[in-house]
Amino acid sequence: MSEQLVECIPNFSEGRRAEVIESIRSAITAVSGVIVLDLHKDADHNRSVITFAGPPQAAAEAAFAAIARAADLIDLDQHTGEHPRIGATDVVPFVPLSGVTMEDCVALARQVGRRVGQELGIPVYLYEAAATRPDRVNLENLRRGQYEGLREAIATDPDRAPDFGPSKLGKAGATVIGARAPLIAYNIYLSTSDVRVAKDIARAVRQSSGGLPYVKALGLDVEGLAQVSMNLTDFTRTSVTEVVERVRAEAARHGVTTVRSELVGLIPQAALFDTAARYLQLEGFEPRQVLETRLEEARRADSARGFLDRLAAPTAAPGGGSAAAYAGAMAAALVAMVARLTVGKKKYAGVQERMQVIAREAETWLQMLSASVEEDARAFEAVMEAMRLPKEGQEEAGRRQAAVEEATHGAAAVPLRVAEAASQVMELAAEAAALGNANALSDAASAGLLAAACLRAAALNVMTNAQSVEDREAAAEWEKSLNAARARADAAEERLRQAIASRGGLAVV
C-alpha cells in the first residue's frame, strides 16, 4: 500500500534560542500522525529548519500550529542573521512524498495560507507550484527587501499585496507558503574569510546569473568562513556532482579551495546514489545493487508472504473476506499505476487532469481495501468470540445470542463495504483502459478482473452472514446494496470490454 504522505519543511527565523526552537518543535509533534524527521539550526544564519512528514491534513494542521507558535515567540524587530527572511516563519513548502500529487500539495498550501491570514492575521504569499502570479514563483522575489523593506512596501505598493491576510506587517512579519518538488539545501565552505569570493562563486553557479540550471546560490559569511549557500531545485537535471565540481573550479580560479560542506535538512537517497555512481564511475549502476535497498525489498516481499502464510494456515481468520479485500487492493493499485503511467506523456495531454483524479481516487480505495484485509479478520474473530460465550441458562443464552447477532452484523458490514468499493474500482479500471496509456492496457484489464473477483468473493461473504442473522430487514438491505454494486460492476465490465476491443487488446474480460 502506498500511504498518503506529505513532507513539510518550515524555516523559522530563530537559530540561537534552544527553548524557542523546542517549543515550535513540540507544537508540530503534538499533532497526531506527524513525525519530525530532522531539525537543523544555525546560529550564524539565526535560522532553523524542521522537516516533518504525515498524512496531508495532519501535515497541514502541524504547519499551522508551528506558524502560530513561532508568531508568539519570535519578534522580527529584534532579529538579525545572515540569511534573508521576511517572517518569523519565513517559508513553508509542502512536498508530495507518496500517494499524493503536486496538486494536492498546492491545495494544502492554499488551505493553510488562507487560515494563517484569517486566524493569525499574518500576511501570506504563495510560491512555487502554488503561486498565483508568475513573478511569485521564485522565493527570492518575495524576499526582496527582506522584512525591513517589506514592512513599508506591503502597505504602499499594490504589487506587494499578500495572497491572504492583511497588507500590514506585525512582529511576526509575513510567511511564504507553497508546494514544490524535493529540494536539496547544500552549503559549501571555502578556505577564505573573504565573503566577496563566495558571492562571486555564487553568481557563477546560480541559474539566474547564467550558471547551472536548477541552482540557486548566495555568498555568505558564516563562522568566519565564506560560504556558498545553495538550493538544488532539481537534482535529476543538475546533479550534486556537477554543482560540487563547478564550485571547486570557481574556487580554484580565485585561488582558494573548498574545505567542507553541509546539508540543511534531508536529501533524497537517489541524489546520493547518483553522486556516488558518478564519482566512482560505476557503469550500469542500479539502486538495487545497494545492500540496504535489496534488504528492504526482501522485507517487503516477506511482509506480503507473511499474509499469504497466515491465509494458508489452519485457522478461520484471515479467510475469504480478507482475501477478497486483498484482491481489491491489488486492483486499485493497478489502476493507480496505469493512471500514473499516463500522466506526463505528451500523447495523452488531453486526459492529464482526469488521470490525476483517477490516481487519487484509486489511492483512496487502495488504502480503504488494504485496511479491510485486517478488519475482516477481526470482524470474523469477533463472531467466533461471541459464539464461545456461555449458553447454559436462559439469561446467558440470551446474551450470547445478542452478541452473536451484533458480531455477525459487523462481519457482514466489512465485506459489504469491500464489494461496494470493488464496483468503484471497476469503474476506474474501465476508464483507465479507455483513456490511459495503451502500453498498460493489460494492466487496466487485470485491475478489472481482480476487482470483479473481489466483488464476487465479498458478496459471498455478505450473503453467508445474511443467512445467519435474525434481523431479516437488515439482511434484505445488504442484498439490495449488493445488487446495486453488482449493477455498477456489470456496466463497468461492459465498458472495460469495449475499451479493450477498441484498442486492440485481447478479449478475455
Active-site entry in 90, 163, 274, 376: 376
Phi, psi of 86, rounded to the nearest 5 degrees? -125, -5
What does 454-479 look like in DSSP terms, one character per residue? HHHHHHHHHHHHHTT-S-HHHHHHHH
Active-site entry in 83, 90, 163, 409: 83
Residues 6+ apart with CB under 8 A from 93: 8, 9, 109, 128, 177, 178, 179, 180, 183
List strands edge to edge, sheet with 184-190.
215-222, 225-232, 184-190, 258-264
- The SS3 of residue 173 is strand
Q: Can the peptide bond before residue 318 be classed as cis, meaning omega within 30 degrees of 0?
A: yes
- How many residues belong to the chain? 509
Give the CA count within 13 Å in the CB-facing half-sphere of 431. Answer: 21
Residue keyed to cell 496505469: 338
Give the CA count within 13 Å in the CB-facing half-sphere of 467. Answer: 5
| 90 a catalytic residue | no
Separation CA 392–CA 362 (nearest Å)? 49
| 83 a catalytic residue | yes
Phi, psi of 37, rounded to the nearest 5 degrees? -95, -30
- Cβ atoms within 10 Å of 135's Cβ, excluding its own: 9
Contacts of residues 54-57 at CB distance under 8 Å and 24 or more positions apart, as own/partner, are 54/5, 54/6, 55/3, 55/4, 55/5, 55/6, 56/4, 56/6, 56/100, 56/104, 56/108
- Cβ atoms within 10 Å of 57's Cβ, excluding its own: 14
Separation CA 222–CA 230 (nearest Å)? 14
What positions carry a catalytic annotation? 83, 376
